[in-house]
């Protein structure tokens, strides 16, 4: 897709050139002068200007650097011609970020369309500087985000827990990355009653997937990334509505996200130890499926009264959090399409972030500003914890009211964090998937960047 061009001559170049609107850069200034264009004439994030014979090339594409981080560059991949990107005209967007955006923008979900051939666009780039390392890193980031989008977009009949396991195993070819998978019998031996409870209505065996990246053998710190892996969510006997059930293939977006993040971390050999834990199953109605009033026993020994079988993701995460800590995780980040309540609170603009450690979440909040993957910190307080009190068990899996559901869900997960280990919960229910655009790959970059230090 990307090819390096060895030479550039403005007077002779015939490929459509991509520049920024940075008029402090001499080449940009020269091109705009030749085209008789003022910077104030440029309004869109991507402007396509016909040169009308004033240059050898027929068109120039001018980018607004302030906008492309959020808007992307999909328009470049709709062109049916070779394009040359002049890297030295970029000043605000780092080259790694630029190539991340370019690769991300190339993604199209055409897998199941009869006419799924995507026209190949040759993107050339030129620079007087050596950006090889930054370009490579940017492409790895972009490819991992696109892999995440693809996983989220695949329907359940093409991606169940077993298929997700097969995908995870393919990552084992990366240096210092190992994968171990536990089936139903092994999970029963670990008393994972919460996770297995969700699986009881399924015809597919549950899969507990554990990826371990060892980037620093001298360090005892292991950061656990726990992704919700509900491959499809019917709601169980607390059945979703006809409008609420479509798109529930995306309920494993948390799992896809942590797989994308570990792909980057391992390929770029970041110097940290990272565990990825995914408790993968679907949630459906079946002869043995759990029902409201059932009581499950989680791996940490806590008993859970089921108020709603549609509050299933937190059950799988509860045992996954326990397992992560059993395996030595000293810090925890879980990511999940967990609640509709967070969508009601924040819409599709922000991901909700909850924590028991302010310093920890401050690091992630700062990184999300850089990656443009917006986080908004949400509260957990004693009032929300009281909503989980149960007459019959140690806690309920849902509140009896519909108030503050995102915070109550986070308070539930907090019960499975041991020894006050630093923990962040990220609720991506509003940001992971769009009905018109599909999977977003949100937070893959932010999670990976946390380890780029």
Nearest of 81, 37, 419, 206 to residue 29 by alpha carbon: 37
pLDDT the model gives residue 79:
84
Query: How much is the average pLDDT of 294-322?
Result: 98
Average pLDDT score, the chain: 96
Domain spanning 143-450, CATH architecture = 3-Layer(aba) Sandwich (3.40)
Q: Is residue 116 pLDDT above 80, yes or no?
A: no
How confident is the model over 294-314, as a mean pLDDT? 98
Least confident of 24-33, 111-120, 189-198: 111-120
Q: What are phi and psi of 256, to 5 degrees?
A: -60, -40
Catalytic residues: 240, 314
pLDDT at 90 over 90: yes
Length of the chain, in residues: 453
Average pLDDT, stretch 142-146? 98
pTM tops 0.75: yes
At residue 88, the pLDDT reads 96
How confident is the model at residue 233, as a pLDDT? 98
Residue pLDDT, tens place only, 240-268: 999 999 999 999 999 999 999 999 999 99
Average pLDDT for 328-343: 98
Task: Indicate whether 70 pLDDT > 80.
Answer: no
Which letter, b or e, does each residue of 48-80 get, where b requires 16 or more Cβ atoms within 10 Å of its Cβ?
A: ebebeeebebebbbbbbbeebbebbbeebbeee
| Rg for the chain, CA atoms, rounded | 24
Percentage, residues of the chain above pLDDT 90: 91
**pLDDT, tens digit (0-9, with 9 covering 90-100), for 410-447:** 999 999 999 999 999 999 999 999 999 999 999 999 99
- CA 76, 77, 80: angle at the middle one, nearest 5? 95
Q: What pLDDT does residue 119 have? A: 67
How much is the pLDDT for 260?
98
């Amino acid at each position: 897709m990307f090819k390096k061009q060895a030479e550039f001559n403005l007077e002779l170049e015939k490929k459509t050139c991509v520049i920024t609107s940075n008029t402090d850069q001499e080449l940009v200034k020269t091109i705009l002068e030749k085209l008789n264009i003022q910077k104030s004439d440029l309004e869109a994030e991507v402007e396509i200007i016909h040169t009308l014979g004033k240059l050898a090339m027929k068109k120039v594409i001018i980018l607004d650097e302030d906008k492309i981080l959020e808007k992307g560059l999909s328009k470049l991949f709709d062109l049916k011609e070779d394009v040359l990107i002049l890297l030295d005209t970029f000043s605000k967007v780092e080259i790694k970020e630029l190539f991340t955006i370019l690769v991300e923008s190339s993604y199209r979900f055409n897998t199941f369309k009869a006419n799924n051939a995507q026209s190949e666009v040759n993107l050339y780039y030129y620079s007087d500087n050596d950006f090889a390392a930054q370009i490579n890193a940017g492409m790895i980031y972009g490819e991992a985000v696109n892999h995440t989008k693809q996983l989220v977009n695949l329907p359940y009949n093409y991606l169940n827990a077993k298929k997700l396991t097969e995908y995870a195993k393919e990552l084992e070819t990366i240096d210092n990355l190992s994968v171990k998978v536990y089936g139903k019998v092994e999970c029963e031996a670990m008393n994972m009653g919460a996770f297995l409870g969700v699986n009881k209505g399924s015809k597919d065996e549950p899969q507990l997937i554990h990826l371990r990246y060892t980037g620093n053998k001298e360090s005892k710190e292991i950061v656990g990334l726990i992704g919700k892996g509900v491959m499809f969510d019917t709601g169980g006997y607390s059945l979703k509505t006809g409008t609420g059930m479509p798109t529930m293939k995306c309920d494993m977006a948390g799992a896809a996200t942590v797989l994308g993040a570990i792909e980057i971390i391992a390929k770029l050999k970041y110097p940290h130890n990272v565990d990825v834990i995914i408790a993968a199953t679907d949630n459906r109605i079946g002869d043995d499926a759990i029902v409201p009033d059932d009581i499950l026993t989680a791996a940490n020994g806590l008993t859970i009264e089921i108020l709603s079988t549609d509050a299933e993701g937190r059950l799988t995460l509860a045992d996954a959090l326990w397992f992560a800590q059993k395996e030595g995780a000293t810090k925890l980040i879980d990511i999940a399409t967990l609640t509709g309540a967070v969508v009601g609170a924040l819409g599709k603009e922000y991901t909700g972030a909850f924590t028991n450690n302010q310093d920890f979440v401050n690091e992630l909040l700062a990184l999300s500003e850089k990656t443009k993957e917006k986080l908004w910190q949400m509260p957990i307080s004693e009032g929300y914890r009281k909503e989980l009190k149960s007459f019959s068990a140690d806690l309920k899996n849902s509140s009896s009211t519909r108030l503050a559901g995102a915070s109550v869900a986070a308070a539930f997960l907090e019960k499975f964090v041991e020894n006050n280990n630093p923990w962040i919960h990220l609720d991506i229910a509003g940001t992971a998937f769009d009905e018109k655009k599909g999977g977003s790959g949100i937070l893959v970059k932010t999670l990976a960047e946390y380890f780029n230090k």
